[in-house]
Amino acid sequence: MMKKRLLCLMMISCLALSACAPSPAPVEEQADPVATLSPAVDGNTPPVGDAALMAEETFALYLPDSAGEHLLCQYVPLQSNRGRHPAETVVRAILTRTVAPMPLTLVGNTPIEISGGVCTVHLSTSALLMDAREYYTLCLSLSATLDELPGIDAVNVLVAGQAPALDISGHLPAGCLLPSTAQTLPVLWRSVESRRPAVGASADSAPLTAACSLYFPLADGSGVMPEVRSLTFPGQSPAQLAQGLVNALFSGSSNPLFAPLASLSMDMTAAPEVIAVTGGARRITLHFPADLESRLRQASIEPACLYAALTCTLTTFIPSLQSVQIQAGQNRITSVIHPTFGSMLFPGGVMTRADYAPFILESRSLLFPQNGLLMPLTVFFPQGEAYSPRRILLKLFGDAPQNTDRLTPEGLTDADILGLSVQGDTLLVHFSGRTADIIKGSGMNQQMMCRSITSALGTCLNVRRVRYYFGGEALSDLGQDVVWDGDFFVLPVQP
């Protein structure tokens, strides 16, 4: 009996050791193929198109109770496109559930901006019919709801491209809304009232501390992104607010993605000028040295991006500010040229936030080869594209960013992405048959390719696994050691 036990143990040990042995080198021909286990049965159908990304999801909406005392969390099922950020979905749901004199709607080609962790909501003019307290409660509702979503840490709310004031005199800004503590709505409103100028007092004698979205030019000159900062102003007049915001911008940022504005040692040559324009709106003129543009170019800062940063920063915060004019010496800036956005003309030098909307970019960390390793790199996207799996794939299909190697072979296009769908916790990605041929013939590192694509798509859609199809079928072999017909687990990308 003891011998049988020893024999069994020896056989088990041999089997375990054989499993750890290296695989034999491949040979050109093998007369008697080695039998292998059949692959797991795949019950999924390769998706065609992206319609299957539409699904019902449950979101937390924070809405005021009937007494107006608290924001109550309601879990509501909503139809959402997983190929887009859900912010617009939940904002529309809140607007339809908000009591207002007229139906509340979003406005603009990009009614929801997400950039640098800041979400900006663009409401139509119907929101102006609400009184200040109702409007502020709506802002709190939007902020509490949006802060629950990925990639959002702060919220701005604009109406017809302007920031409404929270007081009758039109001076107190709502500012950038941050996640608030569990205070009651009346307490939060009393906090707003305490910041208003005293009755009979001038706005320029009422100090203010508020969170602001400072839009900085990106170092690569591609656009702008915001950074939230708490600023203290000596008063609430538009000129004082503008002076404080400009000073904060030119003090620079520690974010390496932003252009080094502090290196300019730039000061305005005169105080900001404020005038009233049609409809009770305001316009501000900023005065800079005559050599403004030459100093910017010497510092490798794109002038158009600085003007976008100034315009977006001021109009997002200062109440009723419709437009900005920028003066360099005696010359008013009336046109700019940008490598991506081309030539832009500003009649009378009047610049609006809408003019620079394309400059406000989103970002995402993607993996690219660098010196034989996959390295995370921050990549910028136009609004609405950083959460689109199709746009992310096209970014990975494109040219290699600076100081990196190309990830995928040339020649892959949007037409090669046949479809995307989510089944449970798995993303199904369907490429064309020619994609397999191009990858196989390129000789490029398929492990890096698969790891980067899987991480990017899985993180975007918040799934655990990704499965690939080529030309309607799951292919196991594209000429290298990657088994493409299996499920790939998503590893998060660390920025």
> At residue 11, does pLDDT exceed 60?
no
- Confidence bin at 393 (pLDDT 50/70/90): very high
Across 27-36, 367-376, 433-442, 453-462, least confident range: 27-36
> At residue 449, does pLDDT exceed 70?
yes
DSSP state of 199: T
Same domain, 331 and 264: yes
Same domain, 399 and 425: yes
Average pLDDT over residues 382-393: 96
Average pLDDT over residues 28-43: 40
Across 2-16, 315-329, 461-475, least confident range: 2-16
> At residue 9, does pLDDT exceed 90?
no
Half-sphere exposure of residue 480: CA atoms within 13 angstroms, side-chain side: 16
Residue 426 lies in a domain: yes
Same domain, 240 and 291: yes
Same domain, 399 and 380: yes
Residue 6 lies in a domain: no
Give the H/E segment covering residue 112.
Answer: strand 112-115
Same domain, 95 and 217: no
pLDDT for residue 116:
96
Same domain, 179 and 249: no
- Confidence bin at 334 (pLDDT 50/70/90): very high
184-195 per-position pLDDT tens digit? 999 999 999 999
Give the H/E segment covering residue 447.
Answer: helix 446-461
Give dist(CA 352, CA 324) in Å, integer: 6
Give dist(CA 452, CA 398) in Å, integer: 13
Which residue, among 436, 432, 393, has the nearest Cα to 415 in the 3D structure? 432
Average pLDDT over residues 317-339: 97
> At residue 29, does pLDDT exceed 50?
no
pLDDT for residue 5:
41
Same domain, 155 and 219: no
pLDDT for residue 432:
98
The more confidently predicted of residues 17 and 149 is: 149
263 residue type, one letter:
S
Average pLDDT over residues 81-94: 97
Residue 129 lies in a domain: yes
Residue 96 lies in a domain: yes
- Mean of per-residue pLDDT scores for the chain: 90
Give the H/E segment covering residue 488.
Answer: strand 487-489
Same domain, 172 and 81: yes
pLDDT for residue 15:
35
Q: What one-character-per-residue DSSP string does 248-270 give?
A: HHHT--S-TTB--GGGG----SE
- Confidence bin at 44 (pLDDT 50/70/90): confident
> At residue 3, does pLDDT exceed 50?
no
Same domain, 284 and 254: yes
- Confidence bin at 480 (pLDDT 50/70/90): confident
pLDDT for residue 215:
99
- Say what percent of the chain tops pLDDT 90: 83
7 residue type, one letter:
L
pLDDT for residue 179:
86
257-273 per-position pLDDT tens digit? 999 999 999 899 999 99
Domain tally, the chain: 3
Biggest CA pair distance of the chain: 105
- Confidence bin at 481 (pLDDT 50/70/90): confident
266-306 per-position pLDDT tens digit? 899 999 999 999 888 999 999 999 999 999 999 999 999 99
pLDDT for residue 299:
95
410 residue type, one letter:
E
Average pLDDT over residues 118-138: 96
Same domain, 226 and 335: yes
pLDDT for residue 22:
35
Query: E-strand spans in 339-396?
Result: 342-345, 362-370, 373-381
Same domain, 431 and 288: no
Residue 137 lies in a domain: yes
Q: Single out the residue in 317, 343, 360 at which a domain terminates.
A: 360
pLDDT for residue 4:
40
The residue whose two tokens read 């609405």 is 384
pLDDT for residue 37:
31
Average pLDDT over residues 423-441: 96
Residue 428 lies in a domain: yes
pLDDT for residue 42:
67
> At residue 18, does pLDDT exceed 70?
no
- Confidence bin at 31 (pLDDT 50/70/90): very low
Q: Single out the residue in 360, 377, 402 at which a domain terminates.
A: 360
Residue 12 lies in a domain: no
> At residue 78, does pLDDT exceed 50?
yes
The residue whose two tokens read 């802060």 is 147
Token readout for 375 is: 């390295």
Q: Are 429 and 466 in contact (CB under 8 A)?
A: yes
- Confidence bin at 182 (pLDDT 50/70/90): low
Which residue, among 59, 63, 84, has the nearest Cα to 72 in the 3D structure? 63
Same domain, 478 and 404: yes
Residue 22 lies in a domain: no
pLDDT for residue 181:
63
Q: Are 136 and 166 in contact (CB under 8 A)?
A: yes
Q: Is 442 in a helix, a strand, or coil?
A: helix
The more confidently predicted of residues 180 and 27 is: 180
Question: Which residues span the domain enclosing 309?
Answer: 207-360
Q: Single out the residue in 136, 171, 200 at which a domain terminates.
A: 200
Q: Are 447 and 74 in contact (CB under 8 A)?
A: no
Average pLDDT over residues 164-183: 89
